[in-house]
Amino acid sequence: MASQDLTPEALEGFAAQLDGKHAYEACPHYTSSPAGMAWLVGAWLQKTGCPAPRDVRMSRGYTVRVGDMRVSVADAAALVRIQ
């Protein structure tokens, strides 16, 4: 079974105008949902100067896969690249 493509949600987060808010406060989804985690990763990618997300999918637990990179979303306020 293929995992759900979350690239649109990540692109929304990447394009979001946070206006000084933390990403988890501006997120339009529940931050523990796959859509919310993908949105947060998109916002994190923008904040860290990375290119726009492509091929975004859930991994195990609170981990999102962005291409060949994995990002931990266990703490919505402090995302961490783990691979």
- Where in the chain are the domains? 7-81
CB-based contacts of 35, cutoff 8 Å, min separation 6: 6, 9, 29
Dist CA 59 CA 20 (whole Å): 29
Tens digit of each residue's pLDDT (9 = 90 or more) over 2-60: 589 999 999 999 999 988 889 999 999 999 999 999 999 999 999 999 999 999 999 99
What average pLDDT does this structure show over 62-76?
A: 94
Q: CA 19 to CA 26: how far, in whole Å? A: 9
Scan for tokens 């931990």, then name that residue: 72
Residue 64: which pLDDT band, with cuts at 50, 70 and 90?
Answer: very high
* 67 confidence band (pLDDT: 50, 70, 90): very high
Cβ-based neighbour number of residue 14 at 10 Å: 21
pLDDT of 77 higher than 80: yes
Cβ(23)–Cβ(13) below 8 Å: yes
